[in-house]
């Protein structure tokens, strides 16, 4: 069984999988599995009010979860795959902590890392957050992640995270769009074209 196959099998069993991305090392679960999402929060000690974003391999996968207006899609495609997370309106139900259930939104991204893309292609979209205890610096490879989270993660996929910084997050549901977290993608350049 390849490591990607082992990761997919773990996700199907409701377990947490560690994966490298283009920004920081992440831990992910099936975004539709309420128990798996709850365990991920417990593992990280993550505050309930901090929603978890969804990562996908393709825009087609994201369109199953969120509405991407044409003007947003054009902008997103200039930066996806890449370190840009966009908050968009969702059109399906997700567990309470995946996105914002009151606002009907979820943050989404397509990472630019071959291992992450292979896993997401095989498993489908995942609820992914940084591999760390909440409030502490994130891991940048599987060895650091294993030291931080131990056996709470069923499978650690190997890989280094070249970006080393969390993604830029922009809320595209507000008018005008609002930056929620600074990151590698410049907000002014993003909106300016």
121 confidence band (pLDDT: 50, 70, 90): very high
pLDDT at 96: 83
Statement: residue 191 has pLDDT above 80: no
Statement: residue 150 has pLDDT above 60: yes
Sheet holding 17-19, edge to edge: 155-156, 17-19, 26-29, 126-130, 54-55, 105-109, 84-89, 168-171, 178-181
188 confidence band (pLDDT: 50, 70, 90): confident
What pTM did the predictor assign? 0.95
Fold for 3-192, please state it.
DHBP synthase (3.90.870)
Give the whole-angstrom CA distance, residue 12 versus residue 100: 24
């Amino acid at each position: 069984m390849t490591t990607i196959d082992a990761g997919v099998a773990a996700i199907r069993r409701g377990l947490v999988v560690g994966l490298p991305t283009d920004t920081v090392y992440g831990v992910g679960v099936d975004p539709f599995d309420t128990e798996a999402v709850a365990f991920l929060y417990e593992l990280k000690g993550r505050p309930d009010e901090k929603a978890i974003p969804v990562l996908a391999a393709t825009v087609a996968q994201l369109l199953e979860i969120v509405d991407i207006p044409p003007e947003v899609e054009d902008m997103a495609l200039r930066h996806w795959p890449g370190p840009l997370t966009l908050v968009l309106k969702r059109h399906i139900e997700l567990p309470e902590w995946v996105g914002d259930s009151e606002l009907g939104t979820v943050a989404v991204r397509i990472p630019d890392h071959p291992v992450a893309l292979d896993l997401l292609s095989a498993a489908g979209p995942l609820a992914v957050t940084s591999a760390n205890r909440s409030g502490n610096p994130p891991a940048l490879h599987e060895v650091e992640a294993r030291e931080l989270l131990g056996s709470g993660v069923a499978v650690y996929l190997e890989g280094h995270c070249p970006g080393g910084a969390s993604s830029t997050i922009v809320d595209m549901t507000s008018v005008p769009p609002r930056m929620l977290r600074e990151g590698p993608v410049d907000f002014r350049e993003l909106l300016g074209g």
